[in-house]
Amino acid sequence: MSKKQPIRTDKAPTPTGPFNQAIKIGNMIFCSGQAGRNRETGKMGDIHDQARRCIGNLSNILEAAGSGLADVVKVTVYLRRAEDWKGFNEEYLKLMPEPLPARTSAIVELKGPDMLCEMECIAVIQD
């Protein structure tokens, strides 16, 4: 039986709570939700900027685990406002490779008033 292995990289934000950036078990990677904060400035941009940054953070975490966005099988997207669907999806479609993974999306209250999106994913490591 495989053991859980924490995944950490300095190419994505340090977790702000009691969790890891991701957990690897066997050939599966379970990534924690990533927001779109600019690591250099600490600021949150518009929905396009935040979408690019949260997907970029996930990409960096997956790379540290030996995987990538092309290996994502399931995504969960959380948005603060329904009017941000279009902007988020524009960036999502630019950055996520085909075939697109299964996806669940929800409108929720997110941590901090300037946080517009968060995304988590499950990926595999290809043999």
Enter the pTM of the model.
0.95
> What domains lie within the chain, and their CATH numbers?
5-124 (3.30.1330.40)
Starting from the edge strand earliest in sequence, which strands make up the sheet with 72-79, in order?
A: 5-7, 22-25, 28-34, 117-124, 72-79, 102-107
Q: What is the model's pLDDT at position 24?
A: 98
Mean pLDDT in runs of 10 for the chain (127 residues)? 92 90 97 90 92 97 98 98 97 98 97 93 94
Q: What is the model's pLDDT at position 3?
A: 94
